[in-house]
Amino acid sequence: MPTGIHHVTGITRRVQANVDFYAGFLGLRLVKRTGGFEDAEQLHLFYGDALGSPGSVVSFLVWEDGAPGRVGLGQVAEIALAVPPQSIGDWVTRAMTARVPVEGPAREMGETVLRLKDPDGVIVKLVGVDLPATAPLPDPIAPTRLRGVTILTETPQQTAAFIERFGYRPGPAEGAIRRLLSDRDAIDIRDATGFFPGIAGTGILDHIAFRATDAEAVEAMRLALKDTDVTNVHDRRYFMSLYVREPGNTLLEYATDAPGFTVDEPAEHLGETLFLPPGNNVRAQELRVVLPQFALPGQERLPARDLHFIHRFHHPDEPDDSTLVLLHGTGGDETQIMGLAARMAPHATLLGVRGRSTEEGINRWFRRLDMMRFDQADILSEIEAFRAFLAEAVRAYGLDPQRLTLVGYSNGANLIGALAQLYPHETQSAILLRAMQVLEQPPVLAPDALAGLRVLMLNGSSDPYAEGAPPLEAALRAGGAELQVTTLPQGHELATGDVRAAQDWLRRGGAPAATS
């Protein structure tokens, strides 16, 4: 009967930095990339030994640019990886060379330990202990398997007793830590009474999974835990599992060894293909666009830039030299219209941008006073900030400013419409989805002020905000923009008609056409 840790799962806010650390610096193998089983719009990466053997796997859900969490009570606070005992000196040198924060070596529970921090601040301990890998990696000093984890709790006795259900037995104690042992690894229970509770978010370890023999063992555990908050059994394609919280609130999983990561990829090509959970066939192409892209160590990559706005790129397999700059609607983010835009222009590079204003916790481009009135000072200041960002992005990423099309939905479209009026000649092409005039005192434009600007406005016949569209249309026409206005038989929501109209407009080079 297998015992011990199956895998540990964390949350990262920077996928490329995460890949560079775990696959690059540590030398683990990326053995699987999937959409999340609970939310297919989350990328889920699995690292491990050469086959992703149970007991070697560290996985991460990617919340790109997500809010940071807080390590505290009811969480896994540290993860420990076994490395060859004689390699500790090499790891100190490697960490210092790579400028990875490192502490130690030190002695803990009779073992030599180095403490590292990954790019999210997660503590990763390298423990010099002779635990051979099930499927060794090419690097002779690479981690061989999981040595253990540390859990913070203010109910140490209850937490320890609960974890013993999964095949652990009492081990040594050291200070505030009591150790539990399986046949392969260790769980350190730290009494952190009086510490603050953990908060979910990026930079935390979300849960630990223990090994189960088979699906029958998982079902038996579910029945044994029927008086707790245990979940039903889930099919995660690579294993069957359930979830439960121990008395100190740490999330635990119980997962089968089989079928493993080679069920849908041959061993020599593990981690090369993005897989999506069942039931996402209709959205498959959209999800592949929305999920963040990254490069493995040694692969060509686009350099990341830390600019004034949170943003996301999508690079198509066969790009042309055009770029769509995407501005979301109220409550959206930088990915909201990426799938839609990819259908509009399959060969365009997509640059999704997140507005900086917030309203009751949701993203916007500028503040709203009521449903039809907007903070004029905020509009002006955010337009200035966006102009600076766009100029930076063009320089930083080598974009062709003559091949940029600004695409905005609702609040984002409103910002583009205001930008075009306030700064003529800075925009060459725009697609405005459900836009309206938000400037209370729009500038009086000369008849040729917007000459050369091509605009497609897609309005909804039953859009509750439709009354704000004609003033914007009139302002753009008065300035000489080449304007096409199409009214679709729908409301404020986006639909297939928007994609088809935009495809046709882009195919014709953005030339205006009379429609109704």
What domains lie within the chain, and their CATH numbers? 5-275 (3.10.180.10), 306-510 (3.40.50.1820)
Q: Would you say residue 136 has pLDDT above 60?
A: yes
Q: Would you say residue 515 has pLDDT above 70?
A: no
Residue entry with tokens 């969490």: 69
Q: Would you say residue 502 has pLDDT above 50?
A: yes
Q: Would you say residue 286 has pLDDT above 60?
A: yes
Give CA 504 to chain center in angstroms.
32
Q: Would you say residue 492 has pLDDT above 90?
A: yes
Closest CA to 82 of 30, 134, 117, 120: 134
Enumerate the H helices of 225-304 as residue ranges. 284-290
Q: Which residues pair with 35 in a beta bridge?
A: 43
Euclidean distance between CA atoms 276 and 328, whole angstroms: 25
What's the confidence (pLDDT) of residue 116?
A: 98
Condensed to tens digits (0 to 9), the pLDDT of residues 376-394 reads 999 999 999 999 999 999 9
What's the confidence (pLDDT) of residue 294?
A: 96
Strands 240-245 and 274-275: unpaired
Q: What is the mean pLDDT of residues 430-436?
A: 98
Beta strand segments in 182-233, E: 186-191, 205-212
